[in-house]
Amino acid sequence: MTKRREDIRNIAIIAHVDHGKTTLVNEMLKQSDTLGKHYEIQDRALDSNAIERERGITILSKNTAVDYQGKKINILDTPGHADFGGEVERIMKMVDGVLLVVDAYEGTMPQTRFVLKKALEQHLTPIVVINKIDRPGARPAEVVDEVLELFIELGADDSQLDFPVIYASAINGTSSYSDDPADQEHTMNPLFDTILKTIPAPIDNSDEPLQFQVALLDYNDYVGRIGIGRVFRGKIKVGDNVTVMKLDGSTKNFRVTKLFGFMGLNRVEINEAKAGDLIAVSGMEDIFVGETVTPVDHQEALPLLRIDEPTLKMMFLQNNSPFAGREGTEVTARKIEDRLKKQLHTDVSLKVEDTDQAGAWMVSGRGELHLSILVEEMRREGFELQLSRPEVIYKTVDNQKCEPFEEVTIDTPDEYVGSVIDSMSQRKGDMVNMESTGNGQTKLIFSAPSRGLIGYSTEFLSMTGGYGILNHTFSEYKPVVKNWNPGRRTGALVSINQGPSTTYSLQSVEDRGTLFIGAGVDVYEGMIVGESSRDQDIAVTVTKGKNLTNTRASGKDHAAAIKTPKDMSLEQSIEFLNEDELCEVTPESVRLRKKILNTNERKKFDKQKKNTK
């Protein structure tokens, strides 16, 4: 009979963005025996990164552990967004069960589906938590049916289909086995008890030779790279001499200098770990995801873990605009390069390559969100940099040039269905399915090339008045769509001189397009100040003051006013770019500019380009 470690359970928690996953983990921490009675836990404690808190998304998986009735429950929080899908797959290898959190009103959502599919493929044991049971319009019984349908659709086996259901309101700290909100009790015990009863305890084969596999990376300036993973077999102690079986087939010996376990939100130093434990190991500088740590005299590697290939790339450049160095502290090429290389310590889906151009690097990632979050982190650290238009990464498959395609799932009010289908067909999206979901909503599924989706989310939100929900996940590489360029159709309003913008000048420009700046903003020659209403660029003056005369025109004394300029976020600015433009990012500003700033030089270049076509 297989011996098991009944003192421990390993689970991953998965949910669509904003379904209350992180709030639920908070409550589990509060109501378990983990934290002292006087411990103040902040809201959404797992989302430790400031950007995660603002956007309400989980970017990096976090480990936490709770103590309940003398048993340890390790909980791994998984990213909900498909750009971080590589992490999801590796986490599923570290756990024996999953907690699926679903909103009692919204039901199953596209991104839940993506992560759940990975869990079911690993034959993990599921527990379903129907959260927000007290929400107006909650429909728990229907949502459980939806979950069951989703499980069947994703090929769940018979044991997975027989999942237990807990009904909860994480924000109120209540749960119960009943779908009636009146039966909710101020306790998470039904959830804890179900985890202990349902999730299999890890197999205890700690008397066999060690196998520890790295699934996630962390980095710390004091101890260097840290490998986080699961002990699948045997024991590991501080001071042990062990072998790392590298991805390329080579081996490297090292000494374990520190081991960490997890309790609450903290990493705690431990001396020993055994089969079933989730731990972090330091002491090996170049340890990498998927590598196996074994005894020196018993080298047996575990199967490799898949790491998602990047599908999108963009150039990161040192800032050389006329305003370079005004707002940031980290502006040199050396500092930018060091920061990008540091990101590689922990982000395995990122690639950074040198280019022929000085102070420029090609950075490849899993999607727009993946790259824009890195940029946002860097600007908050005081960096100034420039970004080029994102491009998809092409691949040759069976001697044919192919590009990445994505599955696009859209939920929209019925009145916008026509516009959505039209806009997706313009972006070469093929409709795969369309169904009415009731309540005046329609669900549409498309297969579309990734390059057609660059910049689509902004257009989609304005088209559906903010009521549409758009999700897309990478599906496969397919032959390139020929004779099609999905770039911006309109030109830009480009400043021809430097200085502060004036209301007087802006008034004369605003009928030529949409302005991105108001009065009193410093501009430079070649800076983009708005979007042209035509299909070509228009050079404009936005710094001219009104000539003062001592004659007063009757009726002209009222204050001059201009329309409110369009506020461009970092993502919108990156999406706006054409190939001859750059986005300048500093801690305080996001500016758009032409690559060639001088107006006359730019005209010459454009003329030459037309002649060579």
SS3 assignment for 449-490: EHHHHCCHHHHHHHHCCCCCEEEEEEEEEEECCCCCCCCCCC
pLDDT at 327 over 90: yes
The response to whether 336 counts as a known ligand-binding position is no
Confidence of residue 47 (pLDDT cuts 50, 70, 90): very low
pLDDT at 608 over 90: no
Tens-place pLDDT, residues 70-79 = 899 998 877 6
The response to whether 22 counts as a known ligand-binding position is yes
Q: What is the 3-state secondary structure (H, E, C) of 263-322?
A: EECEEEEECEEECCCEEEEECCCCCCCCCEEEECCCCCCCCCCCCCCCCEEEEEEECCCC
**CA 613 – CA 610 distance, rounded (Å):** 5
In order, the DSSP letters of 219-256 are EETTTEEEEEEEEEESEEETT-EEEEE-TTS-EEEEE-
CB 325 within 8 A of CB 384: yes
What pLDDT score does 562 carry?
79
Mean pLDDT of 404-424: 90
pLDDT at 537 over 50: yes
Exposed / middle / buried, residue 511 (Cβ in 10 Å: 0-12, 13-18, 19+): exposed
What pLDDT score does 437 carry?
75
CATH value of 8-198 in 3.40.50.300, 3.40.50.720, 3.40.50.10790, 3.40.190.10: 3.40.50.300
The response to whether 257 counts as a known ligand-binding position is no
What pLDDT score does 48 carry?
43
Nearest alpha carbon to residue 454 among 406, 494, 490: 406
The response to whether 133 counts as a known ligand-binding position is yes
What pLDDT score does 552 carry?
52
Domain with CATH 3.40.50.300 in the chain: 8-198
Mean pLDDT of 405-433: 91
**CA 95 – CA 613 distance, rounded (Å):** 57
Tens-place pLDDT, residues 105-140 = 888 776 677 678 888 888 999 999 999 888 888 888
The response to whether 544 counts as a known ligand-binding position is no
Exposed / middle / buried, residue 138 (Cβ in 10 Å: 0-12, 13-18, 19+): buried
Tens-place pLDDT, residues 589-604 = 999 999 999 999 998 8
Q: Domain 395-479 is in which class?
A: alpha beta
What pLDDT score does 276 carry?
92
Non-local (6+) Cβ contacts of 89 within 8 A are: 118, 305, 306, 308
Residue reference for tokens 């989980």:
58
pLDDT at 36 over 50: no
Cα 332 to its chain centre, rounded Å, is 27
Mean pLDDT of 99-109: 85
The response to whether 332 counts as a known ligand-binding position is no
Tens-place pLDDT, residues 550-587 = 555 544 444 567 788 988 888 889 888 888 999 999 99
The response to whether 132 counts as a known ligand-binding position is yes
Average pLDDT of the chain is 84
Tens-place pLDDT, residues 232-283 = 999 999 988 999 898 888 888 888 888 988 887 778 889 999 999 999 888 7
What pLDDT score does 559 carry?
52
Mean pLDDT of 335-345: 89
Confidence of residue 46 (pLDDT cuts 50, 70, 90): very low
What pLDDT score does 42 carry?
45
Confidence of residue 83 (pLDDT cuts 50, 70, 90): low
Domain with CATH 3.30.70.240 in the chain: 395-479
CB atoms within 10 A of CB 85: 21
Mean pLDDT of 524-542: 93
Q: Over pLDDT 90: what percentage of the chain?
A: 40
What CATH code would you report for 211-295? 2.40.30.10
Length of the chain: 613
Domain with CATH 2.40.30.10 in the chain: 211-295
What pLDDT score does 596 carry?
93
What pLDDT score does 126 carry?
94
**CA 257 – CA 230 distance, rounded (Å):** 17
Q: Over pLDDT 70: what percentage of the chain?
A: 90
Q: Tokens at residue 396, please?
A: 């040759």
The response to whether 473 counts as a known ligand-binding position is no
The response to whether 266 counts as a known ligand-binding position is no
Mean pLDDT of 298-309: 81
Q: Tokens at residue 558, please?
A: 């009222």
The response to whether 551 counts as a known ligand-binding position is no
> First CA to last CA across the chain, in angstroms?
75
